[in-house]
Structure 1
Amino acid sequence: MIPLSRPLLFQTAVPAHPSHASGVRRMVTAHLNLWRLSELVDNAVLATAELFANAVRHASSNPRDVVTLTLECTDRELRVTVADSSPLQPRLRTPDAAAESGRGLSIVAALVDDWGTVPPDPGTTGKKVWFTLCVEGRG
């Protein structure tokens, strides 16, 4: 990857509905390929899809709710942030072996270099869940 003079940034708001998950995956794929980070696509798309699904399932209660997706890339890392309007914090769970859900954050943790949550922007409600993937030494 060519050294960047400033971070690459993409941000969009997506309706908080499961029908938009495929569009989110396509957007992440397209931007990472445009930014010549194709080696990060698989892990970034899967981790983003998990965070989007969590936001839709656990944080969306109104048909007008949106999930904000931000991709930011520096010379060192790709940072993906998924923001929603719910103040409820995500938590890692250890689901029963037969459970059909509850593994999303474990999947994210296994795929990425780091992840966490931060408060919403001033004047807004909710939370931001983020993850990073190392760019340094790749490409």
Structure 2
Amino acid sequence: MISLRRSRLLQLAVPAHPSYAAGVRRTVAAHLTRWELAGILDDAVLATDELFANAVRHASAGPADTVAVVLEYSERELRVTLADPSPTPPRPRTVDSGAESGRGLAIVAALADDWGTDPPEPGDAGKRVWFSLAVRGPV
């Protein structure tokens, strides 16, 4: 069977610096709006922001590092993948209620239908961290 609905794809390479987080959030929100995915926009933007912050904080080694951000919407699922230069896999942490950080992966897990890690693309170093969100209702 041939699908009449084509996959929608966005690929970005963003400098691994906190000052780019707002631009990543705006870009993700703009594309999800264009793709008419308002029902999952807030969750997708927040989960992407958490993964971007983790990549910048824990996986960036230098000023030339970038984080690849890939959004792919196909049929009834949005998959967001962030690739960074560190091979160290992310580790969910248990933090006390007064901690100012350390909840990023717990937030992603709470928002997403699924999440995980993959090895880098062939020829690249590092890892890919992804999450998926089901698109419910008419598309």
TM-score (structure 1 length as normaliser): 0.94
Residue identity matched to 2:49:
A
Residue aligning to 1:53? 53
Give the 4+ runs in structure 1 shifted more than 6 A. none
Aligned residues: 137
* RMSD, matched Cα: 1.2
- Over the matched positions of the two proteins, sequence identity in percent amounts to 64
CA distance in 2, matches of 1:63, 1:114: 31
- Written as runs of structure 1 = structure 2, the 5 A alignment for 1:1-139 is 5-137=5-137
TM-score (structure 2 length as normaliser): 0.94
In the TM superposition, residue 6 of structure 1 has moved relative to its aligned partner by 2.1
In the TM superposition, residue 138 of structure 1 has moved relative to its aligned partner by 5.1
Residue identity matched to 1:48:
T
Deviations 1:25-77 (A, max 9, x none): 00000000000101111000000000000000000011000000000001120
In the TM superposition, residue 136 of structure 1 has moved relative to its aligned partner by 3.9
In the TM superposition, residue 4 of structure 1 has moved relative to its aligned partner by 5.1
CA distance in 1, matches of 2:36, 2:99: 38
In the TM superposition, residue 5 of structure 1 has moved relative to its aligned partner by 2.5
Stretches of structure 2 lacking an aligned partner (at least 5 in a row): none
Residue identity matched to 2:59:
A
CA distance in 1, matches of 2:10, 2:40: 16
Deviations 1:66-91 (A, max 9, x none): 00000000112000001000001001
Q: Retained in 2: the 8 A contact 1:68–1:83?
A: yes
Stretches of structure 1 lacking an aligned partner (at least 5 in a row): none
